[in-house]
Structure 1
């Protein structure tokens, strides 16, 4: 058949790549060059790792980041399969070249400044495949759905003729600074004078208050419903457990001053990231807001935080944010107190574990 005739008859060609299993099963392929495969299975989770495509610059960095290292130039085949068959999502991926391997995820600023090396097509088919010649270097592969918040499980396979290294980038848990802001030694008289009067009215003879009195105090002192959302009894119990150093279940005026300074700081962080609507934080911005407060958490922990605090509309209120900050503050504090040797883990008996679990 002449090539011109072939062009006239066929309008589309699909090239099928045989995997390593098929190559081993076929005797006539025994002497052919065999593909080496690396595979990663994960999923896009709403509010955690479903950041959408590059059009959504504020959320794109939250997608799974898979780092691959090529020691020399090679032709690679990147294949992204989604496991959702009944209602397939529109999926695709982007690849970014980086100078050196990373140990943590790349920040949002990186993806805004650096142009992608490869962008696949986006389609709602079960599989998206791209074949390309890559230089020997380090790359970040970003499998994504087209729209943020689309949930699905996926498998990413990378085929190469030469050895290739692959790993999922994630952030180790870290507290970069203390989340609680200490009140300055000399505070403005007008700032705390009104709070102090109400505090002393509710306090006992030792000038301390319990969670119920704290709830009443916050309800009286906080200016609006947006901030008063942190005055739930559960959050007040968390606050008292975190600030109470004597185990009495009560806090003093100095602790309350620290709390008010902290709430002011957390409100500023919350407002900075609550860009879509006043008073609510989109779950996709939750991770960055926690980072600004002082907490870096891995994806598994972030997934639990989102499951616990995200509302049905995919948003968090200020009270949810405060509760999450107090949980993390207490968890890090307990770990560091129990880890006097500064190792990666701590040992405790069941009684200590139960006590610490209820203290968070």
Structure 2
């Protein structure tokens, strides 16, 4: 029976207790075997749920654990989804479509387990109906489960730094999936494979080999080429190297392969960059995310793409300030990495009303950091070309792309391809974590000589040069470029910055700026040096003979 079959009209909505005896919400923990596709064409959703089972913290954010068919059972369950910038709680009853007492849609291999079927029902309610779930993209569901921003790469068009992008993404707790479009020798096509959190370089026969660990969430099928579980390549590695790579020979759906084979055998990779509200581990290098809501209004702000110069400038405009240079010791280019995501709202839910996805995209223009913040006018776009733009306008729910641009201020212009098309959207940009508000205020106070609370171009350049100098010192002492320095290294770092302190002051600095692990992050490091710079400068202003005497008013300043 297919979803559109007339037999569907005779389906019965039965509660879990009517379907079987002793129903359970989750049996023995959630796993991929709990997700068996039914007669609804939503394999894209089920692939996302399967990947979600590999991360318990994320899973139980979507599927709260405080639910069962015994204690406190009232016939209802609730699930949480990310919805355009907010987390929403969706409450459903436990009546599920059945035919001949069998579940019609998603079911578990265990007949009395219902969490996956109920999750599918809640997701259908979020979008208005089961029918709305027919056809989709796995990345769409992953974002609704995590609030993340997803980017994808076609392997044949992947950037040369893809391995570095993957490695950095895993350091930030991102989730990844890869897929194959056609059958390939020695490997079986499946809907999705998750990239496990390990990208390593191994020393093999006097040369470095880049490796990727993958996991098939659907079963036991594995890669059997070079670097597979029992391949000859592992013989050349020591036990210590094998332990470091967590190598084990087992038909568990998890396997290693070289990055080169990975690129040859897979068609596409999707990276779901998780935002801070989805990450709880302080050790993870998190993105910072800015969320902007907007709408295109016909006759006012629905200007279409750059091909329509008379109206393009009327589109909504959003400012982006890039100051945090990439922390990459192997790259000498002064540039900032960031990801821009443009998502149109509610189009799947309104599809039954005839609403189709618009063809959308965006462009990025550089503007003066010290100019006014007003809406850029038509002439600006006639005489200035974009610094970056999305690869193409496309009729998907979301268009996402990664960029690297020089530090500065930019304006992002989201638009539909054609003008006069009305709709709502959210625009998100992710970039590496910037300075805290306290640190920013301290930096401005350090160089703001005229006390206006604003920086002139000369003052900004002076501050920027200081930050660059201190960043170089921080990188030198940062352990494995992990974005932290050990508190024991702080003495040497401060000395390199030109400050000579006594032991008591070093103790105070450690107590003030080190975390529980006795480590100091970049924000705290800069805050410390800014305060030291300000104190030394104040002392020198009053110093006549190596000692100073201050009034109460001067101390308060």
Pairwise same-fold verdict (TM > 0.5): no
* Higher relative contact order structure (alpha carbons within 8 Å, sequence separation ≥ 6): 1
Q: TM-score, normalised by structure 2?
A: 0.28
Q: TM-score, normalised by structure 1?
A: 0.43
